Amino acid sequence: MQKYFSLLLSLLLFTIVCSAQAMPLLQSGEPYYEFARHEVLVQFVSKLSGWDMAKLCEPVGAKIVEESAEMGFYRAALPEDFDEARAVAYFRSLPDVEWANFNYLAHVCYTPNDPLYAYQWHYPRMNLPQAWDLTRGNPNIMVAVCDMGYQFNHEDWAGVQTINPRDFIQNDYDPTTNVADSHGEHVAGTIFAATNNNLGVAGVAPLCKLIPIRCMDDSGTGTMMQISNAIAWAYQHDAHVINLSLSIRVTGPPSDPGPPLSTAINNAYNAGTIICAASGNDYQPYVAFPAAYTQCIAIGATGYNDMIAPYSNTGGMLDIVAPGGNMAQDLNSDGYGDGVLSTVRESTGDVYVFFHGTSMATPHVAGLAALLLSYGIQANQVRQALQQTAVDLGTTGLDNIYGWGRVNAYAALRYLNSEPHQTHIVPRSVKLSPPYPNPFNSSTIIPLEISATTRVELTVYNILAQKVTTLLPSQNLEPGSYTYLWNAQDLPSGVYLIKLSTASFEQSQKVLLIK
Q: Name the strand (E) or helix (H) holding 481.
A: strand 480-487
Helices in 300-347 by DSSP H: which ranges? none
Q: Name the strand (E) or helix (H) holding 487.
A: strand 480-487
Decide if 278 contacts 312 (C-beta within 8 A): no
Determine which one of 359, 374, 501, 508 is catalytic: 359
* Paired residues of 341 in beta bridges: 354
DSSP-derived 3-state class of residue 275:
strand
- Rounded CA separation 429/113 (Å): 49
Backbone angles phi, psi at 39, to 5 degrees: -160, 160
The answer to whether residue 359 is catalytic is: yes
**Diameter of the chain by CA atoms?**
81
- Rounded CA separation 274/143 (Å): 9
Sheet holding 454-462, edge to edge: 467-477, 454-462, 494-501, 506-513
DSSP-derived 3-state class of residue 19:
helix
Backbone angles phi, psi at 16, to 5 degrees: -65, -45
- Rounded CA separation 366/54 (Å): 42
- Rounded CA separation 203/340 (Å): 12
Decide if 247 contacts 278 (C-beta within 8 A): yes
Number of residues that make up the chain = 515
Q: Is the peptide bond before 434 cis (omega within 30 degrees of 0)?
A: no
The answer to whether residue 424 is catalytic is: no
The answer to whether residue 147 is catalytic is: yes
Dihedral sign for Cα atoms in the order 29, 93, 229, 297: positive
Numbers of helices and strands, H then E, in the chain: 11, 25
Give ∠ CA 75-81-84 in degrees, rounded to 5. Answer: 45
Determine which one of 68, 107, 122, 147 is catalytic: 147
Backbone angles phi, psi at 61, to 5 degrees: 70, 20
Can you say how many angstroms the Cα of residue 433 is from the centroid of all Cα atoms in its chain? 23
Decide if 139 contacts 145 (C-beta within 8 A): no
Determine which one of 107, 154, 183, 186 is catalytic: 183
- DSSP string spanning 433-452? PPPBSSSBSSEEEEEEEESS
* Residue among 356, 388, 357 nearest 372 (CA): 388
142-147 and 97-101 strand pairing: unpaired
Residues designated as active site: 147, 183, 359
